[in-house]
Amino acid sequence: MTERFDLIVLGAGSGGLAAAKRAASYGARVAIVEGDRVGGTCVIRGCVPKKLLVYGSAYAHTLADAPSYGWLVPPVQPDPATLLRNVRAEVDRLNRLHIGLLEKAGVDLVPGWGRFAAANTVVVSAADGSERELCAERILIAVGGRPHRPDIPGADLGWVSDDLFLLESLPDAVVVVGGGFIACEFACILHGLGVRVTQLVRGDHLLRGFDREATLAVQEAMEEAGIEIRFAHSPAAITGQCAPGEFTVTTQSGEQLSCGGVLLATGRRPFLKGLNLEAAGVAVEGCRIPVDANQCTNVPGIFAVGDVTDRVNLTPVAVDEGRAFADSVYGRKPRQVDHELVASAVFSQPELSGVGLTEEQAIERHGADGIRVHRARFRAMNQALPARGPRVLLKLVVEAASDRVLGCHMVGEHAAEIIQMAAIAVGMGATKADFDRTMALHPSVAEEFVTMPN
């Protein structure tokens, strides 16, 4: 028997949840299909548990600095097992919360993995082997992405980021493969929890796509803390035994690194496996589903949002895309998501965050003579007494002709919180003079953004 809905959403992650609840609020009858827990990458195996691990690992720095502020802390040691257990408990709570919110919104949660049988029909396979057939006027694909393993011998012996949240304990040494934000964040987390970390980076710098000067500041701090970063290094093979947790990573140069675990943070790809898109005629470009500004695929009535479209793969973007879809289709309030000005952050230690153009992007668009760069580099006041730790970097990229701030970047504690507010000013077209006219809040790190000399 076919069950009929106004909208079927494939995937109960950030974008799918936002779209389903918003569409239901307009009176649509909505089914959301999910074969895993509700919450998606961000809540279950991404942003939320990762940030909790960041908080936990950062206590290493806090406790190390405590004596300089008059707190005599006895020798302590990390207990990663307790932290990991508590993080999993919080994820379980959030999963239950999101299930409850769906129920409150009147959205039908259909457990199982969905696949297209036709352009308006989805078959859902449940864990017990049973199947349900759903039909709807519109179908929204919001299945997100999954970590990608490199094609090398023994890749299945390594962890991907999802696996780290399931660990009961941590080994003494880990090799982290990758130079992106996931690799850098977990390298810092593991190091803070007492793990010896070696990071292999294929290129010549970390965090491609972020402001280069800012990434160098992060690199400097990571290396100063004791993380060994090897550039122009890639793994050729992984060998060893999972049970005793003894592995050897052989690099392309033939070097062999012994460790207790290998994290393969080598990117993510849209999760198209099992969707049977060909049955609906949905076009795929590379490994992503291309959509227009209204989230439409090439098939009328089939839409896609979030990481499966592989545009700006951030949780708030997926949420806004999902809501924009529902507002436009069911709320009769057409709108499109602006992907041009999106703040982003790396929760490394120290944090890196930015909004707008990097210095490199600004030079590419306006020429070296068409921009001005203002920066401040100093040790934050909270490190004055310990007299150690990474220096803060604050940076404004300004268009010379108009004085408009094109980009705002920061490396340091609370960088993401500060840049979130700066994003409002940059989005409104603020000039350097507007920043200069703003009275400083002293003493604070953020005041440097409004006191930089011309």
Dump pLDDT digits (tens) for 270-299: 999 999 999 999 999 999 999 999 999 999
Instruction: Read off the pLDDT of residues 119-163 as tens digits, 9 standing for 90 and up.
Output: 999 999 999 999 999 999 999 999 999 999 999 999 999 999 999
pTM as predicted: 0.96
pLDDT (0 to 100) of residue 279:
98
Burial class (CB in 10 A: 0-12, 13-18, 19+), 174: buried
pLDDT (0 to 100) of residue 437:
97
Q: Which residue has the higher pLDDT, 245 or 194?
A: 194
* Radius of gyration of the chain measured on its C-alpha atoms: 24
Q: Give me the mean pLDDT over the 207-221 stretch.
A: 98
256-259, strands of its sheet edge to edge: 235-241, 246-251, 256-259
Using pLDDT thresholds of 50, 70 and 90, give the confidence band for residue 189: very high
Distance CA 159, CA 92 (A): 22
- Domain 155-266 part of CATH 3.30.565.10: no
Closest CA to 411 of 362, 346, 320, 357: 346
- The end-to-end CA distance of the chain, in Å, is 71
The fraction of the chain above a pLDDT of 90, given in percent, is 98
Using pLDDT thresholds of 50, 70 and 90, give the confidence band for residue 101: very high
Instruction: Read off the pLDDT of residues 337-373 as tens digits, 9 standing for 90 and up.
Output: 999 999 999 999 999 999 999 999 999 999 999 999 9
- 101 neighbors 83 (Cβ within 8 angstroms): no
Q: Give me the mean pLDDT over the 372-387 stretch.
A: 95
Using pLDDT thresholds of 50, 70 and 90, give the confidence band for residue 241: confident
Using pLDDT thresholds of 50, 70 and 90, give the confidence band for residue 244: confident
User: In this model, does residue 242 exceed pLDDT 80?
Assistant: no
Using pLDDT thresholds of 50, 70 and 90, give the confidence band for residue 249: very high
Give, as one character, the DSSP assignment of residue 331: S
Residue 53 in tokens: 């691990």
How many Cα atoms within 13 Å fall on the side-chain side of residue 106? 12
Mean pLDDT of all residues belonging to the chain: 97
User: In this model, does residue 94 exceed pLDDT 80?
Assistant: yes
Residue 128, number of CB atoms within 10 A of its CB: 7
Residue ranges of domains in the chain: 2-146+270-329, 155-266, 350-450
Using pLDDT thresholds of 50, 70 and 90, give the confidence band for residue 259: very high
* Length of the chain counted residue by residue: 454
Instruction: Extract the runs of DSSP E, i.e. beta strands, from 318-404.
Output: 344-346, 352-356, 371-378, 392-399
User: In this model, does residue 212 exceed pLDDT 80?
Assistant: yes
The fraction of the chain above a pLDDT of 70, given in percent, is 100
CB contact burial 405-427 (16+ within 10 A = b; e otherwise): bbbbbbbbbbbbebbeebbebbe
Q: Give me the mean pLDDT over the 93-108 stretch.
A: 98
* Helix, coil or strand: residue 333: coil
User: In this model, does residue 243 exceed pLDDT 80?
Assistant: no
DSSP 168-217: SS--SEEEEE--SHHHHHHHHHHHHTT-EEEEEESSSSSSTTS-HHHHHH
Residue in this structure with the two tokens 């400083």, named with its chain if needed: 440
Distance CA 448, CA 393 (A): 10
- Of 191, 339, 366, 442, the catalytic one is 442
As a CATH number, domain 350-450 is 3.30.390.30
CATH architecture of 2-146+270-329: 3-Layer(bba) Sandwich (3.50)
Q: Which residue has the higher pLDDT, 414 or 244?
A: 414
CB contact burial 53-80 (16+ within 10 A = b; e otherwise): bbebbbebbeeebeeeeeeeeeeeebeb
Asked, colleague to colleague, whether 2-146+270-329 and 350-450 share their fold, the answer is: no
pLDDT (0 to 100) of residue 208:
96
Using pLDDT thresholds of 50, 70 and 90, give the confidence band for residue 1: confident
442 is catalytic: yes
Instruction: Read off the pLDDT of residues 35-56 as tens digits, 9 standing for 90 and up.
Output: 999 999 999 999 999 999 999 9
Closest CA to 252 of 181, 147, 149, 153: 153
